[in-house]
Each structure stands twice: as C-alpha cells, then as structure tokens.
Structure 1
C-alpha cells in the first residue's frame, strides 16, 4: 500500500469533498446540464449516482463481513435541486455515520478483496474520498468552473487507483510489461503486469526501464486513470499499446 492516511483524516476529507461537490451542483445552470466527462449523463444523474453510492457503501460497512453486498437502491432521489442536495447531504452523512461507528479495521465486503487495498472500513473510506474527488471535478466541469485539486489528495488518488483498481491476481493476458507513472510534483509509481496479475510496487532507483511511462501533474494522472483524460494529454514514453491494453482489460475472477 502506497499511502497510510489516518482514518480520521479520510472522514474529514469525505466531508470536505462532499461540500465541494454540493457547491458545484448548486452553482450549475440546472440539473439537466450535461456532464462532459460522463457521456450521456446529466448533473442529476451524477448526483443520484454518487448519493446512491454513499448509501450503498454505508450499508456495506454497517453489515460487516459478508460474501455479497446488499442490494443497491437507486430510488428516492428527488428532481428538485434543493431537495436533491438535501437528499445527497443525508446520503453522505449516512456513510460517515457508518464509518465512524465501524472504525477503520472493521472488515466488510468489497469488490477489490483480492487486491492490495484492504477489505475494511479504512479501504472503503479511502475509495470514497477519491470517488468524491473525481465526481466533484465532473460536477465542476458541468458547472463551467473547474477548480484545481489539492495536490496531496491528487497524489494519493493515483496511488489509491493503483492499489484498488490495478491490483489483481488474475493473470495479465498479454506479454509481461511494466508501467511507470511520474507526477511532476516529484512522486512516481510502478505497475507490474505479468502472469501473477497486476501489482503496484515501489519504484526504486535500480528498477528496470519501463515498457511504457506517463508523465504529468498528479491531477492529470488521476484524471487519466479515471478515464477523464487520454494518452494525448500526457507525456508518453515507450510503447503506448501497453496503456491501451490496460485500459481495455477487464479481469474476471
């Protein structure tokens, strides 16, 4: 695991990013505003998606260890903006309450159980921080007023994505490769892809050259791995096909 944010800091970040998300929604022209980074979604769809996710993860954390998650309930999001924002605020508080009651070590169902990120409330809190971070960007884009991401949070976001979304024991179906990500703020990460799966590992000075590497700001790297930017937005060295293969890969357990 790349970073070890304190649990209390994660909960505070959920509250702070949620406030920024609500502010972006409140400032947008309307709930029917398109979200350019989420094709075919309106701002209403984005708020409903994030609020439903907060409620679902609240139920998952409250349930504790389980073989399967509870059903996701997408109903109940009102169409009027003020009511929708109140519904979203309630959704976020349900998640925070569940996380506070659980504590960081409580195990629970997660879809990343076989990867690097822990299947517990701490892992859920960290994932939700970055879900909020990226969807706040989406909402700000829809509102026409994108604000820079906090640098430290964007850096952790890249690490979290690798830990959670790019770590799996499912064998890489292509020729073994390594990817290096370099943030211009001075942090780097290494992703190994081979027959044992996909694994983020420390990037040391004596590491072998990468099959491909991407260099950009932490925010740009984060938006790239989340599918908001493309290879053309980054400085790419080596074989770009490795990135294309990774983007297209959908490992199944």
Structure 2
C-alpha cells in the first residue's frame, strides 16, 4: 500500500473539494445532465454526494462493525457506492434533500467531517473494500472521500460548463487509491493476464498486474508492461473513472488491454 497522506490534510481536502462542488452546483441548472453520468441530473448528483457523506458519517461514528450501519442510523438511505466492488459515482444514494439544496449538501459534508474529526485515523470501521486488504479505518474512509468529492466536483463543474482539472496532488493519491483499493476489491480479472503502466506527466508511474487472482498495484518489478497509459494525473484519474475518453490520454502498446481495463468490472 502507498503511504496515506496526513489525516488532517485529508479532512481539509474533503472540505475544499466539497466546497468546489457546491460552487459549481450553485451556477448549474438543477435539471442539467451530468456528462459523465448521463442518467443523472445536477440535483441527483447533489443527492448522491450528500447521501455518501451522511452514510460514511454514520459508519465512522459506529466504529468497528461487521456490517454497514442500519438505515435508521443514517439521515437517508445508504448510498449505492460500488459497482462490482469498485468505487463508483454511478448510482444515486441517500435520502431526498430537504430544504435548500446547497444548505442540505453543506450540512451533509459537516456531518462527515465532524465524525472524522472525532475519530482517530486508526479507528476501525466497516468498509466495502475488505477484499483489497486495505485498512478498514477512519483514515482510509477520509482518503476515499477526498477522491469521491474530487470526481464529483469535476462532474458538477462539467455540468455547469466550467470543468477544471482535479488538483494534481489529489489526483496522484486518488490514482493510487483507485488501483489498490477500488480495483483490488473487484475480484478475478476475466481476461488474459496483463501488466499495465500508468504514467503521469507530473512524474509518478504505477504498475498494475491483472491476473485470475485479481488486480495488484505496484507489484514486484519483473517484466515489461504490455501497455502504457500516459497523461496528466487528473486525466489519468478521470479516464479510470470513465469521465473522459481514450482520446484524452496517450496509449502505447496493446490498446485492447486498456479497453478491457476501462470496461471492467462490467465485462466480467
């Protein structure tokens, strides 16, 4: 596992990206479609992210547990946050917002941050990523929620016609977390084994091995990748999340393996 950023930095970044999210929502049409999630409107997106924040606030507050918190412990229903075990922003979760949309969203973020500030970063809690071997702690939840807020801030900005890159420092850690935690939770790779390199213009490169045992990030350096994806850290992250297409990145080597990766886990 890559080293997790400092806990307080993660909380600051959640607040920063959630604020950027609401700034974009404030100028977007509530019924405008989200290009990266075309079945959603802006209001759906707000409902989803608010539900995610309220769900994880209750989950962290509950401490170590064998399952997710019951619905009555959450202000709204638990969000559908995973598709095939991988992190996803593709299903509306949480209860319907009440009152002013932006105020409800801000209150949702406050509930999450309050729960995280009370919990030490090594406090255990339920998470959906047990299969990845990643920590099931408040710190790991905070790390994932930076990624969640960052991708949805991009979604809201795109709907408002003012999409901005994900800040590079956030994107670099989010890529590592996506590969290790998200893909590491999916299960068996359904295609022929392959190694892919993801190379950010800003410097970092990640290796990903895909085998019947699943996805393993940063494996032992033996063997060359069959394909390399190169772009800015922001574009690499958004490509992995299917927010932008292959035309936005540079692929060398076996492009079909990259196509299979982006389609996974839906193709399994």
Q: Same fold (TM over 0.5)?
A: yes
Point out where structure 1 has 5 or more consecutive residues left out of the alignment: none
Tell me the equivalent position of 2:209: 192
Distance 2:188 2:35 in 1: 34
Give how far 1:235 is off.
0.8
**Do structure 1's residue 138 and structure 2's residue 141 form an aligned pair?**
no
Give the 3-state SS of the residue equivalent to 2:132 in structure 1: coil
Q: State the 1:26 CA deviation.
A: 0.9
Q: TM-score, normalised by structure 1?
A: 0.91
Aligned position for 1:222: 237
CA deviation vs aligned residue, 1:221-249 (integer Å, no higher than 9, x gap): 01001111122321111212222222333
- Residue in 1 aligned with 2:107? 90
Q: Verify: 1:39 aligned to 2:27, yes or no.
A: no
How many corresponding residue pairs? 245
177 and 36 in structure 1: CA distance in 2 versus 1, 3 angstrom threshold: same
**Displacement after TM superposition at 1:5 (Å):** 0.3
1:113-152 to 2 correspondences below 5 Å: 113-152=130-169
CA RMSD of aligned residues (A): 1.8
Q: Distance in 1 between matches of 2:138 and 2:184?
A: 19
For 2:45 and 2:13, locate their aligned partners in 1 and report how far apart those are by CA, in whole Å. 20
**CA positional deviation for 1:84:** 0.8
Deviations 1:39-71 (A, max 9, x none): 121110000000011000111111122222123
Which residue in 2 is equivalent to 1:77?
97
1:185 positional shift: 0.9
Where do 1:9-88 residues align within 5 Å?
Answer: 9-28=9-28, 30-70=29-69, 71=71, 73=77, 74-78=94-98, 83-88=100-105
What is the CA distance between 1:150 and its match in structure 2? 1.7
1:147–1:233 CA distance, 2 compared to 1 (3 A): closer
Query: 1:246 and 2:246 equivalent?
Result: no
| Residue aligning to 1:6 | 6
Residues in 2 aligned to 1:10 and 1:111: alpha-carbon distance in whole angstroms: 20
Q: Does the CA contact (< 8 Å) of 1:190 and 1:203 recur in 2?
A: no
Partners of 1:190 and 1:202 within 8 A in 2: yes
Does the residue aligned with 2:130 lie in a helix, a strand or coil? coil
Candidates 234, 241, 252, aligned match of 2:249? 234
Does the aligned pair in 2 maintain the 1:220–1:229 contact within 8 Å? yes
Q: Is the 8 A contact 2:230 2:251 kept in 1?
A: yes
Structure 1 residue 169: Cα displacement: 8.1
